[in-house]
Structure 1
Amino acid sequence: MARRLFLHVGTMKSGTSYLQSLWWQNHRTLAERGLLLPGDRRGVHFHAATEVCGRADVRALMSEEHRGSWDRVRQEAAASDTDVLVSHELFSRATPDEADTALRELERVSEEVHVVLTARDLSRQLASSWQQDVKQGSTDTLEHYWRRAADDTGRTGEFWTLHDVPAILERWSRGLPDDRVHLVVLPGPGAPRDWLWRAVCELTGVDPAGLDDDAQRSNDSLGLAEVEVLRRVQASLPPESRHLETTRFLKGFFTRQVLAGSGDGERFVLGPERHAWARSLAEDQVADLRTRPWHVVGDVADLLPPEQPLPGRTPEEVSAEEVADAAVNSLVGQLLRSHEQRDRVRSLREEVRRLRGSS
């Protein structure tokens, strides 16, 4: 039976990809230091979260190898006598009943269950979450995305399911002692780059000395023109091409290998009205969190956006010329990469023929 089991449940766009990259880059050394990540790759925890949260669309595409990941994660935890870490932001989607079931199942394979939620200020969350939605296939403008969240006064829709910090912790804390529910608040801009990594290392009792702290894979943001190119590509896809495999291709290869770097990298801002809305809602969340008994790493005040909106342009202000330039640059980049790959294939074929001829 595991000693302590840390379940990191989100929030999305709060450094989760950064943390998961470092955890898996170091997973062998972490196991030697007393922190086991069940499974042999990052995707195991994704599939486990999918099964916990009943994502039928994703489960339908899961191979036999991937099905049963949640059971295997718990089996590895049960067989361990060290601390265990399971992390994926999709756990934040769980309903109260799904979270309660998962917690009770984890309690049967560990001496202590700890829930960890990372979070950052709502203005950054809103902007990043919209961009993530576009990467996942949405064609909404930021205006439409924000308006849907703002009109959802009951906070029952997708945005609030993933980003209402007090509500997520409420769902994932039932039956747990207060000191085993941890909220890690990311500081604002200007904090040390490795602040989050060191904070979670301390929380999980891991000595970070000598660990690789250079994340090889992160969920990098697109610039102002680049995200608009992606949104328009998504909107131009024929209906029969709108499925999960296409989304994975666009989010992965197309975004990272083709589109990223095609614009000037200008970051967009929310604009005064959206910023004021985010600030007001964040004030409510912070006031709520100050009354809760959960363990906080950092300062809940850092969940507040700045009092004044940041200077800059909104996505609606990007020009057609900028979008066209980014699209052309991405095509040129892909053309050059294709030529390089073709030359590499030709070189390998010639090497194969040479080796066969000399044998």
Structure 2
Amino acid sequence: MGDALPAGATKKVFFHVGAPKTGTTYLQQVLFQNREALADDGVLYPYEFFDESFRSMQDFRGASWGQKGPGYYAGEWEKVASRARDWTGSTVIISNELLGGSSPDRIAAGVASVQPADVHVIFSARDFARQLVSDWQEHVKHKHRVTLEQFVDDLVEKGLDAPPPFGELFWGMHDAAYVLQRWATVVPPENIHLVTVPQPGAPRDTLWQRFCHVTGLDPDAYETETKRSNTSMGVAETELIRRMNEDARSIRDDDYDRLVRIVLAERILGGQSPRLTLPPDRLEWVSQRSRQLIDELKGAGYQVEGDLEELMPDPATHATYVSPTALTEADLAPAAIRAAQGLLRHSAMLRSKVRELQEQADLRPVHKPTSRDRARDFYWRNRGRVGRVLRKMGLLRR
């Protein structure tokens, strides 16, 4: 359970609570694949399987997901909390990017459940321009059909009151000031850490280096190459799936998630077309809102790792705009062909697995009944009938 803390010392428990689309999946992959090495260094990453982060987060928040009601994951958070309480090492790191959307009462209960501990909060933040288009793509990968332009217009003009679930899921998860204000009702501001995500062109390991500086990890002590990745699609690939979603409403959410989000979007399509950028008529508003956010964060007393100016959109990054909605079917054809080819290969792979399982089943030894087995079976099949005959003949008492 890691090296024991010195007498009187209190372990640190870090809640990494978001935001989505800020490298959180990568950080979680690195932590998960290094959990044994981390434990040897006194650091607990308290998940026994990768998806336990999501399951425990749902229970922490008391949230619904698809057809699964708020009680579906009951007990999952307590498993994680009990491991945190029992840990005798120096540090516990709890991470899920949707924890940021928790209500104040859930935050209070969750923080109380890991005591005694010195609790810290980490929030990784990226500029709103990149976050808006990334969040739209993520919603498309979860069956939604709203266009990029409508999505951005609603969030800009209506804020938290944008059509559900977009308003609460964007501003309630991605706005650092809004999210951390709720956590600051339970955790003191000096224990809240804002990690900024650098603009494109920064060294690849910048986010990991900053995360380690906050948590006290040695950034060079662990394997940081990961197998899994949350690949971003380009304009054509995202729009192709958005239009396909018109006919995907009848697909069960679990089946859609596996086939479309993971297989099609992340493994097959990739991002071969131009990348998504913010509609140009919204860049000025987003820049003004970003400056307001920076001013709010400066006055909040949080610990900043990185540079708050990195939360300002880079106009050069959004200089070229390709409207997904304006793409023709011919524009989508290359992505559609790749999708068809990839799904065909995936289908062939599944059929091969089915055949392999059938062959394995056919090779299993078949138990041949012995004469003793046949006699026993005959007895139990005919026991009642024989009894009735014997009673009629007076040879068996009732």
Structure 2-normalised TM-score? 0.80
Partner of residue 260 from structure 2, selected from 250, 271, 275: 250
Equivalent in the alignment of 2:323: 314
Deviation at 1:33, TM superposition (A): 1.3
Equivalent in the alignment of 1:103: 111
Partner of residue 30 from structure 1, selected from 29, 32, 38: 38
Within 1, Cα distance between the matches of 2:325 and 2:340?
Answer: 23
The letter for the 1-side match of 2:141 is K
Does residue 139 (structure 1) correspond to residue 145 (structure 2)? The answer is: yes
Tell me how many residue pairs correspond in the alignment. Answer: 350
SS of match in other structure, 2:36: helix
Q: Is the contact made by 1:4 and 1:113 (CA closer than 8 Å) also made in structure 2?
A: yes
The letter for the 1-side match of 2:106 is E
The letter for the 2-side match of 1:135 is K
The letter for the 1-side match of 2:85 is A
Q: Is the contact made by 2:143 and 2:248 (CA closer than 8 Å) also made in structure 1?
A: no
Does residue 230 (structure 1) correspond to residue 241 (structure 2)? The answer is: yes
Q: Is the contact made by 1:4 and 1:110 (CA closer than 8 Å) also made in structure 2?
A: no
Within 1, Cα distance between the matches of 2:348 and 2:65?
Answer: 37
Equivalent in the alignment of 2:287: 279
Within 2, Cα distance between the matches of 1:336 and 1:235?
Answer: 24
Which stretch of structure 1 is more off in the superposition, 153-162 or 118-127?
153-162
Does residue 10 (structure 1) correspond to residue 21 (structure 2)? The answer is: no
Q: Is the contact made by 1:50 and 1:58 (CA closer than 8 Å) also made in structure 2?
A: no
Q: Is the contact made by 1:279 and 1:307 (CA closer than 8 Å) also made in structure 2?
A: no
The letter for the 2-side match of 1:319 is T
Equivalent in the alignment of 1:75: 82
The higher-RCO structure (CA 8 Å, 6+ apart) is 1
SS of match in other structure, 2:277: coil
Equivalent in the alignment of 1:116: 122
Spell out, residue by residue over 1:3-52, the C-alpha distance to the aligned partner (whole angstroms, 9 max, x if none). 00000000011111111111111111111112101120221121111112
Deviation at 1:277, TM superposition (A): 2.1
Which stretch of structure 1 is more off in the superposition, 330-339 or 80-89?
330-339
Partner of residue 175 from structure 1, selected from 181, 186, 208: 186
Within 2, Cα distance between the matches of 1:35 and 1:298?
Answer: 23
SS of match in other structure, 2:262: helix
Which stretch of structure 1 is more off in the superposition, 147-156 or 302-311?
147-156
Deviation at 1:116, TM superposition (A): 0.5
Spell out, residue by residue over 1:73-105, the C-alpha distance to the aligned partner (whole angstroms, 9 max, x if none). 111111111210110011111122222222233
Larger-Rg structure: 2
Does residue 333 (structure 1) correspond to residue 342 (structure 2)? The answer is: yes
User: Structure 2 vs 1, CA of residues 53 and 264 (structure 1 numbering), >3 Å: closer, same or farther?
Assistant: same
Deviation at 1:178, TM superposition (A): 2.4
The letter for the 1-side match of 2:83 is E
Does residue 126 (structure 1) correspond to residue 135 (structure 2)? The answer is: no
Structure 1 residues without counterparts, runs of 5 or longer: none
Deviation at 1:151, TM superposition (A): 2.1
SS of match in other structure, 1:264: coil
Deviation at 1:333, TM superposition (A): 2.6
Equivalent in the alignment of 2:198: 187
Q: Is the contact made by 1:122 and 1:303 (CA closer than 8 Å) also made in structure 2?
A: yes
Q: Is the contact made by 2:32 and 2:47 (CA closer than 8 Å) also made in structure 1?
A: no
SS of match in other structure, 2:93: strand
User: Structure 2 vs 1, CA of residues 152 and 210 (structure 1 numbering), >3 Å: closer, same or farther?
Assistant: same
Partner of residue 160 from structure 1, selected from 156, 171, 177: 171
Q: Is the contact made by 2:264 and 2:343 (CA closer than 8 Å) also made in structure 1?
A: no
User: Structure 2 vs 1, CA of residues 307 and 237 (structure 1 numbering), >3 Å: closer, same or farther?
Assistant: closer
User: Structure 2 vs 1, CA of residues 351 and 91 (structure 1 numbering), >3 Å: closer, same or farther?
Assistant: closer
Within 2, Cα distance between the matches of 1:352 and 1:246?
Answer: 29
SS of match in other structure, 1:56: coil
Within 2, Cα distance between the matches of 1:105 and 1:74?
Answer: 6
The letter for the 2-side match of 1:128 is S
Does residue 270 (structure 1) correspond to residue 281 (structure 2)? The answer is: no
Within 2, Cα distance between the matches of 1:113 and 1:50?
Answer: 20
Within 1, Cα distance between the matches of 2:26 and 2:208?
Answer: 8
Within 2, Cα distance between the matches of 1:217 and 1:207?
Answer: 22
Within 2, Cα distance between the matches of 1:347 and 1:244?
Answer: 25
SS of match in other structure, 2:333: helix
User: Structure 2 vs 1, CA of residues 6 and 353 (structure 1 numbering), >3 Å: closer, same or farther?
Assistant: same
Deviation at 1:312, TM superposition (A): 3.7
Within 1, Cα distance between the matches of 2:18 and 2:67?
Answer: 20
User: Structure 2 vs 1, CA of residues 346 and 7 (structure 1 numbering), >3 Å: closer, same or farther?
Assistant: same
SS of match in other structure, 2:65: helix
SS of match in other structure, 1:89: coil
User: Structure 2 vs 1, CA of residues 7 and 355 (structure 1 numbering), >3 Å: closer, same or farther?
Assistant: same
SS of match in other structure, 2:146: coil
User: Structure 2 vs 1, CA of residues 315 and 34 (structure 1 numbering), >3 Å: closer, same or farther?
Assistant: same
Within 2, Cα distance between the matches of 1:139 and 1:158?
Answer: 16
Deviation at 1:112, TM superposition (A): 0.2
Within 1, Cα distance between the matches of 2:66 and 2:235?
Answer: 30
User: Structure 2 vs 1, CA of residues 197 and 351 (structure 1 numbering), >3 Å: closer, same or farther?
Assistant: same
